[in-house]
Amino acid sequence: MIHSTAIIHTGARIGSGVAIGAYSIVGDKVTIHDDVEIAGHVSIEGPCEIGSGTRIFPFASLGQAPQDLKYRGEETRLVIGRRNVIREYVTMNRGTSGGGGLTSVGDDNLFMTQTHVAHDSIVGSDNIFANCASLAGHVTIGDHITLGAFVGVHQFCRVGNHAFVGAMSKIVKDALPYARTDGNDAKCYGANSIGLRRKGFSNEAIRNIQHAFHLLLSSKLNTSQALDRIRAEMSGLPEIDYMIEFIETAARGVTK
């Protein structure tokens, strides 16, 4: 299953059922778990770990040194979970010692062509990155998120669970969970109701989320006052508690 022109370092660990295409390079301290498919002309450098069932398309570059001028060659890691689809020209860099030393990607994500995950970023599971969506360093992406084409996420920003971020948006503050965020500069346009319905949220849960966004975005309350109202009316509901906690822990503020 390994093409004769592929170059595999003796320090790499290759699981069972792995396919590696022509002219691909797998470096030292790379671990490829079972049933991974690596097309031709892929470059993977370590320390790096690729989870089982992941598919990597031509010209992807994974585990290279971070694009950070403070990096001095210290050993850091890239860890990619299971069943991810990594399309052509995707780049993912290892972490830096100053950022925890780890870039992490969860399971079941789709990274379309030319997307980028920079050093020390943490990506959850079941996300879609459309073409050329890019994360700067130290970004945190939750679960069940869609980033449109050419989205740029600023360093240290977060994108909350079930968020939809429109194409070409510039995210310089945290993008709220369950929300539709769009624009340059980005603005929040309320609940991502269609996406939530597709993910199986009940009508009641969607109505609660919509009401929370009404208080947060459309009332005459400031953010603190809106959170007090949301907490008083809907505290104890998991989606609402997560939204409140997300806003209150935002280091860079949230996109409203």
Q: What is the pLDDT of residues 154-207, one digit of tens each?
A: 999 999 999 999 999 999 999 999 999 999 999 999 999 999 999 999 999 999
Catalytic option among 107, 120, 143, 174: 120
- Is 162 an active-site residue? no
Confidence of residue 69 (pLDDT cuts 50, 70, 90): very high
Structural domain spans, the chain: 7-141, 196-248
Handedness of CA 110, 114, 119, 121 (dihedral sign): negative
The answer to whether 119 is a known catalytic residue is yes
Average model confidence (pLDDT) across the chain: 97
d(CA 5, CA 255): 49
Architecture of domain 196-248 in this structure: Up-down Bundle (1.20)
CATH T-level topology, domain 7-141 = UDP N-Acetylglucosamine Acyltransferase; domain 1 (2.160.10)
The catalytically annotated residue of 33, 116, 119, 138 is 119
Active site residue 214: no
User: pTM for the complete prediction?
Assistant: 0.95
List 51, 137, 160, 190, catalytic entry:
137
- Can you tell me the distance from the alpha carbon of 45 to that of 175, in angstroms, rounded to the nearest whole number? 32
